[in-house]
Amino acid sequence: MPVPVLPPSGPSWRKRQAHRQWLADQASDLFEFFQARSVNPKGGFLDLDKAGQPIDGNPVRQIHSTTRMVHCFAIGHLLGRPGSAEIVDHGMTYLWKHHRDPQNGGYVWSLDGERYRDDTKQAYGHAFVLLAASSAKVVGHPLADRLLDDVTQVLDQHFWEDEHGAVAEEFARDWSPVSRYRGQNSNMHLTEALMAAFEATGDKTYLSKAERIANLIIGRHATELGYRVAEHFDENWQLDKEYRGSDVFRPSGATPGHWLEWSRLLLQLWVLGDKRHAWMPEAASALFRQSIELGWDRKNGGLFYTLDWDNRPVLRQKLWWPCAEAIGAASFLLDHRPTDFHEEWYRHVWDFVASHMVDHQHKGWHPELSETLAPASTLFTGKPDLYHALQACLIPLYPSMGSLTRVIAEANREIRA
Q: What is the pLDDT of residue 56?
A: 72
Predicted pLDDT at 265: 98
CA nearest to 325, candidates 233, 155, 216, 188? 188
Mean of the pLDDT values across residues 234-248?
92
Mean pLDDT, residues 259-266? 98
The answer to whether 191 touches 214, Cβ cutoff 8 Å, is yes
Q: Which of 126, 336, 348, 388 is catalytic?
A: 388
219-247: b or e for each residue (b if 16 or more CB lie within 10 Å)? bebbeeeebbbbbbbeeebebbeebeeee
Summarised one tens digit per residue, pLDDT across range 177-195 is 999 999 999 999 999 999 9
- Distance CA(378)–CA(306), nearest Å, equals 14
Residue 307 φ then ψ, to 5°: -125, 155
pLDDT for res 146: 98
Q: What pLDDT, on the 0 to 100 scale, is given for residue 304?
A: 98
Which has more pLDDT, 373 or 8? 373
Question: Which amino acid belongs to residue 113?
Answer: G
Range with lowest mean pLDDT among 68-77, 139-148, 378-387, 401-410: 378-387
Beta bridge partners of 62: 110
Question: Residue 22: what residue type?
Answer: W
Quote the pLDDT of residue 114: 80
- By residue count, the chain amounts to 417
Residue 59's pLDDT is what? 73
Q: Supply the pTM of this predicted model.
A: 0.97
Give the residue from 346, 237, 302, 251 showing the smallest Cα distance to 12.
346
What integer is the mean pLDDT of 326-339? 98
The DSSP symbol for 397 reads: G
Residue 362: count of CB within 10 angstroms of its CB = 14
Catalytic residue among 64, 77, 189, 258: 258
pLDDT over 90 percentage in the chain: 91
Question: What span, in angstroms and rounded, lies between the C-alpha atoms of 59 and 283?
Answer: 42
Structural domains in the chain plus CATH codes:
13-410 (1.50.10.10)
3-state secondary structure of 401: coil
CA triplet 76, 78, 82: central angle to 5 degrees?
55
258 part of the active site: yes
Per-residue pLDDT tens for 16-47?
A: 999 999 999 999 999 999 999 999 998 999 99
Share of the chain above pLDDT 70, in %: 98
Judge contact between 255 and 229, C-beta under 8 A. yes
pLDDT of residue 5: 63
Buried b (16+ CB within 10 A) or exposed e, 30-40: bbebbbeebbb
| 388 tagged catalytic | yes
Closest by Cα among 301, 214, 294 to 254: 294
Write out pLDDT tens, residues 119-172: 999 999 999 999 999 999 999 999 999 999 999 999 999 999 999 999 999 999
Task: Confirm if 351 and 381 have CB atoms less than 8 A apart.
Answer: no
pLDDT of residue 247: 82
The predicted model gives 101-119 an average pLDDT of: 94
Question: E-assigned strands of 184-321?
Answer: 232-233, 318-319
Q: CA 59 to CA 112: how far, in whole Å? A: 6
DSSP at 109? S
